[in-house]
Chain A
Amino acid sequence: MEIGLDIFLQVMVWGLYAGCIYILLATGLNLIFGVMKVVNFAHGQLLMIGAYVTFSFFVLTGFNPYVLLAASIPILIVIGVCIERLCFRPILGTGKLNEIFISIGLIYILENVAAMIWTDEWKTIRSPFEEITVTIGGMKIPVDYLIIIVTTVLILVGLYIFLKKTRLGLAVRATSQNRKAAMLVGINVERMDMLSFGIGAGLAGAAGTLWVVSGQVFNPYMGSVPAVKAFAIVIIGGLGSIPGAIIGGLILGIAENFTVLTIGGAWKDAVAFLILILVLIIKPNGLFGEKAE
């Protein structure tokens, strides 16, 4: 197939935009993993809840959906903290399979609670900026894509400032580097667990809002696929490495859109795992992985 430069750039922008949602999920997963050494496989269900929270507030208030980030993030932080306290803290340090099993339980609970509240039909909302496009270098880009990319960058910059410039962020990083030493210098590591899980869930909530705003459809069962891909990104980038998550997210977003263009839509979901398997065969700890577990 002949691929011109304009199509190439177009697909790059799509990929960038798709990558944003993956990056938000993967960064959250990585933050949680860094601090707690736990992987929350039910992370995509948090995205789904975030999407529904946005949807409900949009229907109720009619606010601009981007403003509703202010609703979805705090609500998801609260849910995240509850999940950490009720489900993950009791099994901390009891074996790595247990967290996978707990997550499977959580997936069933969250998906079906959502189905009870919002029914299991596909839903979608229209962004107020749907019609507006910006022309850059001869290609038309929906303004929504640009806002989503900018929002993601802002959130990531905010997270970076929090982690690097505040005392609390320092405590989070310390816990993530060495839990015992952090405990010894008087950091309340359990509070850091709660905090990192809350932020991770909040980022998933933001991803949920962005998912809805971009006009994508959603139902209670849509969370698994983006979450598993986000986790694949985390592994591709290396467990615990946030730059790895960002690069991995971009690679996947772009790779997926090129796959759709060249091989066909059916392969969209499989390409993440093909990349994952290839990366792991060559570099068993991921691209930026620090050490073997």
Chain B
Amino acid sequence: MIEKNRVVLYLTVATLAFAVLFPLVTGLNMYYLTVLILIVIFIIFASAWNFLTYSGQGSLGHAAFFGIGGYISTLIAVKSGLTPYLTIFIGGAGAALVGLFIGAICVRMKEWFLAMVTFGFAVIIQVLVASQFVSVTGGWDGVAAPPLISNTVPNYLVYEYYSILLIAVVVILLFRTILNSKIGLAFSAIRENELEARASGIDPVRYKLFAFMVSAYFSGLAGALEISYLGYVTPEIFGVDISFWPIIYSISGGLGTLAGPIIGTIVITLLWDGLQSLGLTYGRFIIIGIILVLVVIFLPRGLVSLPEVIKKRAPVWKARFNKLLSK
């Protein structure tokens, strides 16, 4: 166990060192920075989605929180002139409030019911933003969003990247602290058997709502970061794709682990960009879809469990290989 902890620590430090040093080593290459920024933002988003699954819940509509965070942060920044460094947190708070509302409705639902209702909320919120509050949200045209750092500053992307990286590290440490605390223990009790959890004095509703709020808050934060990076926001942000990405990242990395969404986001994003540069417009979706199906069937605990699986299977493969040679 100690051995494993040490490996995890080394890997964490190595990843972090890589994330910090990479832009400097590559001479502040703009293309790499844009890729890295998007990866780090989606790591926050996927981790927030994954946080919800710890409490035995799931969501097919996290784009709702991502988008609300983006809209609230942008609108406040535009109207008040506050720096996005402050408004992103207000955006997160707005998403958390909506999360509390949706969570209160969903808290007694399970599996497909939960999936459908969360999905439905994303659709309803999209309609509200696009057609009901047009005077504020600009309808389908959207709103221009102020950037974190004005692009007149030299190397502004570098500062943005390090700010976002810092936020991501803090968020993941926070998740780690919460999950290692009594709250995390309550989450697993609820996830495994809600009735037993209640019998031992845990109030599932309170914990589930808490999980929903925290998850919504950081999804909103990620959305606000994404929007201030992109520079505009339209109702497209509530689309199905945005809801699906954190799920794909978390599953391919490993559901219910801290490292899973991080690894999944990095691997799938790099693969995605690689396939794009090969010119596979539709092919990349098909490949991602096939990978998702294969992972669910053959590697249900995600890429994180790959070393374990290989360790377990290696003797079998070796025996087979030797058999093949001796023939």
Contact = CB atoms under 8 A, between A and B. Distances in A.
Nearest to A228: B119
B112 to A, nearest CB: 5
Nearest to A98: B296
Which residue, of A87, A104, A109, has the highest number of chain B Cβ atoms within 10 A?
Answer: A104
Nearest to A273: B120
B14 interface: no
A108 B120 contact: no
Contact of B289 (A100, A106, A116, A277): A106
B120 A112 contact: no
Interface string A261-289: 00010110110111011001100100000
A105 B290 contact: yes
Contacts, number: 118
Interface string B229-245: 00000000000100010
B123 A109 contact: no
B53 to A, nearest CB: 8
Contact of B293 (A94, A109, A111): A109
Given A101-B296, A104-B244, A284 B127 contact: no
B58 interface: yes
Which residue, of A91, A239, A273, A293, has the highest number of chain B Cβ atoms within 10 A?
Answer: A273
Contacts of A159: none
A112 B285 CA distance: 6
A28 to B, nearest CB: 16
Interface stretch (B102-110, B145-153, B180-188): B102-110
B109 A280 contact: yes
Interface size class of B (residues with CB under 8 A): 35 or more
Given A91-B297, A96-B112, A104-B248, A276 B117 contact: yes
Given A101-B251, A109-B289, A115 B282 contact: yes
A284 B290 contact: no
A105 B296 contact: yes
B288 interface: yes
B115 A100 contact: yes
Contact of A235 (B116, B123, B126, B251): B116
Contacts of B293: 87, 102, 105-106, 109
Interface of B: 53, 58, 60, 105, 108-113, 115-117, 119-121, 123-124, 126-127, 130-131, 240, 244, 247-248, 251, 255, 282-283, 285-286, 288-293, 296-297, 300
Given A90-B297, A91-B297, A113-B286, 19 more contacts: A41-B115, A91-B296, A94-B300, A97-B58, A100-B60, A100-B112, A105-B289, A105-B292, A107-B289, A108-B285, A266-B130, A270-B124, A270-B126, A273-B117, A273-B121, A280-B113, A284-B108, A284-B113, A293-B110
18 contacts: A39-B112, A100-B60, A102-B293, A104-B292, A105-B289, A105-B290, A106-B293, A108-B286, A112-B283, A112-B289, A113-B286, A116-B286, A231-B116, A235-B113, A235-B116, A239-B112, A274-B124, A280-B105
List the 4 closest pairs (A to B, CB-CB), nearest first. A273-B120, A108-B289, A105-B292, A266-B131
Interface of A: 39, 41, 87, 90-91, 94, 96-98, 100-102, 104-109, 111-113, 115-116, 224, 228, 231-232, 235, 239, 264, 266-267, 269-270, 272-274, 276-277, 280-281, 284, 293
